[in-house]
Amino acid sequence: MMVVMSLTRAEAADRAATVDVHEYEVHLDVTGEGDTFTSRAVVRFDARPGSTTFLEFEPVSVESMTLNGVPVPAPVDGRLVLSDLAATNELAVTATMRYSNTGEGLHKYVDPADGNVYLYQHLFINNAGRVLPAFDQPDLKASWRVSVTAPAAWKVATNGMLRSSAGGHWEFEPTKPISTYLATLFAGPFHAVTDTHDGIPLALYVRAALAEHLDEQAPELFTITKQCLDRYHEMFDIRYPFGHYQQAFAPEFNFGAMEYPGLVVFRDEMIYRSAVTEGQRESRANVIAHEMAHMWFGDLVTMAWWDDLWLNESFAEYLGTRVTEEATRFKGTWTTFAMQRKAWGLRADQHPSTHPVAPVEVADTDQALLNFDGISYAKGAATLKQLVAWVGDEAFRAGLNAHFEAHAYGNATLADLLAQLAKASGRDLSAWAEVWLRRAQVNTLRTSVGADGSISVLQTAPAAYPTLRPHKIGIGLYDRLDGTVVRRSLVSAEVAASASSDVPDISGRADLVLLNDGDLTYAKIRLDEASNAAVPVVLPLIGDSLARAVLWAATLDAVVDGERPVAELVTLVLAALPVETEVVIVEDVLRATRSLVDRYSTADTRPAALELVAQATDRLLAVSEPGGSRQLAAARGFIGATVDAARLTDWLAGVGVPEGLAIDADLRWLILYRLVVLGAAGPAEIDAEFERDRSATGEQWAARCRAAVPSAEAKAAAWRSIVEDVKLSNRLVEMTASGFWQPEQLGLLAPYVARYFAEMPAMMRIRSGMSAERTVGLAYPELVVDPETRRLAAELLSREDLDPILRRVVQDQDDDMRKALAARF
């Protein structure tokens, strides 16, 4: 594997001062057999005469390469050095490049359903050199003029509008100036559905094997797309700026989606082949809105360097959630955000790897990749929600429009945006930005209730990160009344950046006092003891789903921190979840509770805790509407928690299945997976199911199930796949890792704890980027909650040569284990 140097911020600044890139003219020939393709590229750029610079470039071989007609030496370690530059330059290269199976560069996929081949280009964050020589940094924007030669039966789509296609040759119009990481294409015998809206051509692309599912779901996808476009056009003065709006659903895509201008790419699991919940449909709508927000935040105006990643992801996260709720039928997106996304941000912000939303400096692209986390997405979005509460929506939108106008098709920084927001709002935002954007970690807000019902808000911060912040919040007072719960009042309060803030205009005791009602701020919330005691009775009766989400999130977070026992959580789940009507809350509570039961319970207490979760899901299953989302969520939760293998086996055979519950392909796999974990099914049943479902999803499920088989042979084979198999694709490695560790199999798995810490450094040399990060995270022995696991982690972390991705994953996982050990003892 070629050793590729990470691009530093200093190098990027120097290169930006040296060159001005105008155009990439790229022709890819993908008609050959094997694992390589041909790339012919012309890069046109200006430079400081006589200067030296470099491009990222990782060819297998170079057939020809000239700068202004003169041959140049081959690249070394992924860098093509060019010297004695002219004022105007043209680099022309013909090279053989290698396809990827890691979701980076030009990824090649063979569909097990029909043998069809599909390609997609993913150059993010520093992978442009895998396809062509490029100045691979966000502030060197250029126009892309792309052409492709491919099998005549294929179709090809790129960022640019199609100019012509005939005889296996596609020509595309040049794009507006975009950053290298935003250039993409999707190619293969894919199925397309087209439409138009408000003068904008629309298209949806998917593998042929999913054609019938896309046809069924296209009306919903187009409706959401049109609704979001309309809402963004209402909010922003500059209309959608990139011509057509295409959306491709690609196999084995590393991200949930990526905001390529003109051609957004999604994981193709978002084209559903089995029954899904309304929560999943809402999530897909949110992703569509999120990626569309990037057309302005990231594509039209791009961060100058990765330290301003928040200008991309925080804004897309905030606007995606907001626009989905405002423009589509999904009206509970802030409930989902409070329950799910913000919890992700809080976890990341409390890890050893925490960083500010807008760091002063991101040293290189390796560090930049690691900052694509819950802080840059969810914490940043929650911070923006707080900013809107402070300055008002009208001023916020005015500042954004001025920002777009000033920097369209260019690059911008934190200072650029703050200047426009300050001008629009008439407020100096420098102090706000310092404490919210430049400083890491999270505050905790607690309620102090006086004997007379008076309320003060107590604010604390971790000793290592002692920043206190101003918070604008809602405080809800809830009372039990005639078998119901009513919110007596909702008071808007401004919490000062101090240890204690009195709240005026509140009097009289309430059964429950809910801080941050409405979820306006980003903070950990802790209830007073009287409110805590009332939660099991009050929570199920609160009518506002967002208030219930804030309560559930606070409860789960207190358990994570070891302030409340996991036994108390599962008791609350049994009491409150069977009457919960919001499917997103059901799904997230079950996911989080199951994780906590598996890690925070001991071997002696886990069976009883798991049984309570199974009882809760069984009760919810019994009262849910047949065929509805709650029923499906309850069934999935029950399958994951039950140890009743006989009942699950009956369901697979169609016996005793709850009315309305479809035992479709994906639910069959989930049932089989649980049976495999319990030792009630094995390789023969997995092979039979894969014969029944020889699809991409079936292949992935089969890999996960095989890794979960409780035998020494199966575990050894799975481990080899994880740490050695360079031919296995990113998704299949990840699914294998996700099935490997099982709480029911810890005795069998004991030898692999030490092997993880011994062998993962070598694994990092055969994988890279996001695929490597996800694999080492999924393969971590988080279920082996033992001081010895922490000792091995410390030993590995003491190595000076440790890959930065592996270091960060191990640091954060070890911190989670520290909490689990403390909660157990």
pLDDT digits (tens, 9 = 90+) for 378-399: 999 999 999 999 899 999 999 9
> Do the beta carbons of residue 625 and residue 583 sit within 8 Å?
no
Number of helices followed by number of strands (H, E) in the chain: 28, 28
Task: For residue 431, count other CB atoms closer than 10 A to its CB.
Answer: 11
On the CB side of 531, CA atoms within 13 Å amount to: 23
- The pLDDT of residue 2 is 54
Share of the chain above pLDDT 70, in %: 100
Predicted confidence (pLDDT) per residue in 415-467, tens digit? 999 999 999 999 999 999 999 999 999 999 999 988 888 899 999 999 999 99
State the distance between the two ends of the chain, measured CA to CA, in whole angstroms: 45
Given the structure tokens 């020589």, which residue do they identify?
133
**Torsion sign across C-alpha atoms 773, 774, 779, 782:** positive
Nearest-angstrom CA–CA distance, 129 and 111:
26
For residue 197, what are its two tokens? 């809206």
Binned at pLDDT 50, 70 and 90, residue 567 comes out as very high
* Chain center to CA of 345: 11
Closest CA to 472 of 408, 547, 384: 384
Which long-range CB contacts under 8 A does 616-625 form with residues at least 24 apart? 616/570, 616/573, 616/574, 616/577, 616/578, 617/577, 617/590, 617/641, 618/642, 619/574, 619/578, 620/577, 620/578, 620/580, 620/586, 621/658, 622/658, 623/578, 623/579, 625/660
Predicted confidence (pLDDT) per residue in 37-84, tens digit? 999 999 999 999 999 999 999 999 999 999 999 999 999 999 999 999
Nearest-angstrom CA–CA distance, 423 and 611:
58
Give the burial string for 489-504 (b: 16+ CB within 10 Å, else e). beeebebeeeeebebe
SS3 163: strand
> Do the beta carbons of residue 647 and residue 656 sit within 8 Å?
yes
Nearest-angstrom CA–CA distance, 639 and 117:
35
Nearest-angstrom CA–CA distance, 413 and 36:
39
* Chain center to CA of 452: 46
Query: Which stretch of 577-586, 624-633, 767-776 has the lowest confidence by average pLDDT?
Result: 767-776
Reduced DSSP (H G I as helix, E B as strand, rest coil) percent helix, strand, coil of the chain, to 5? 45, 20, 35
Enter the DSSP assignment of 541. G
Nearest-angstrom CA–CA distance, 492 and 120:
49
Task: Classify burial at 591, counting beta carbons within 10 Å of its beta carbon; exposed 0-12, middle 13-18, buried 19 or more.
Answer: middle
Q: CA torsion angle for 470, 473, 475, 476 (degrees, to 10)? A: -170
Nearest-5° Cα angle at 823, 821 to 825 = 70
Closest CA to 25 of 41, 13, 36, 12: 41
Binned at pLDDT 50, 70 and 90, residue 506 comes out as confident
Binned at pLDDT 50, 70 and 90, residue 825 comes out as confident
Three-class secondary structure assignment of 110-150: ECCCCCCEEEEEECCCCCHHHCCCECCCCCCCEEEEEEEEC
Three-class secondary structure assignment of 173-235: CCCCCECHHHCCEEEECCEEEEEEECCEEEEEEECHHHHHHHHHHHHHHHHHHHHHHHHHHHH
> In whole angstroms, how far apart are CA 623 and each of 503, 579, 583, 626, 631?
42, 8, 13, 9, 8
Nearest-angstrom CA–CA distance, 292 and 260:
10
Predicted confidence (pLDDT) per residue in 723-743, tens digit? 999 999 999 999 999 999 999
Binned at pLDDT 50, 70 and 90, residue 246 comes out as very high
Which long-range CB contacts under 8 A does 166-173 form with residues at least 24 apart? 168/31, 171/147, 172/145, 172/146, 172/147, 173/145, 173/243
Sheet holding 117-122, edge to edge: 105-110, 117-122, 185-188, 155-158
Given the structure tokens 């990139």, which residue do they identify?
242
* pLDDT exceeds 60 at position 591: yes
- What letter represents residue 132's amino acid? L
- Looking at the domain 1-63+76-143, which fold is it? Immunoglobulin-like (2.60.40)
Q: What are phi and psi of 239, to 5 degrees?
A: -70, 170
Nearest-angstrom CA–CA distance, 523 and 317:
18
Task: For residue 69, count other CB atoms closer than 10 A to its CB.
Answer: 7
For residue 299, what are its two tokens? 């594509």
Nearest-5° Cα angle at 424, 423 to 430 = 50
SS3 500: strand
Domain boundaries, the chain: 1-63+76-143, 732-825
* Chain center to CA of 528: 34
Task: For residue 263, count other CB atoms closer than 10 A to its CB.
Answer: 26
Nearest-angstrom CA–CA distance, 274 and 560:
33
Nearest-5° Cα angle at 807, 804 to 812 = 130
- What mean pLDDT do residues 17-30 have? 98
Predicted confidence (pLDDT) per residue in 283-304, tens digit? 999 999 999 999 999 999 999 9
- The pLDDT of residue 769 is 87
Nearest-angstrom CA–CA distance, 269 and 735:
14
- The pLDDT of residue 764 is 94
Predicted confidence (pLDDT) per residue in 468-494, tens digit? 999 999 999 999 998 899 999 999 999
* pLDDT exceeds 70 at position 1: no
SS3 629: helix
- The pLDDT of residue 3 is 62
Binned at pLDDT 50, 70 and 90, residue 504 comes out as confident
Catalytic residues: 291
> Do the beta carbons of residue 667 and residue 276 sit within 8 Å?
no
Enter the DSSP assignment of 101. S
Continuous H helices in 294-341: 310-327, 333-336
Predicted confidence (pLDDT) per residue in 782-806, tens digit? 999 999 999 999 999 999 999 999 9
- The pLDDT of residue 128 is 98
> Do the beta carbons of residue 181 and residue 268 sit within 8 Å?
no
Q: What single string gives the DSSP state of each residue in 340-370?
A: IIHHHHHHHHTSTT---SS-S---BHHHHHH
Q: Which residues pair with 171 in a beta bridge?
A: 147, 164
Three-class secondary structure assignment of 451-481: CCCCEEEEEECCCCCCCCCCEEEEEEEEEEE
- What mean pLDDT do residues 165-186 have? 98
- The pLDDT of residue 5 is 81
Comparison of pLDDT for 507 and 736, the residue scoring more:
736
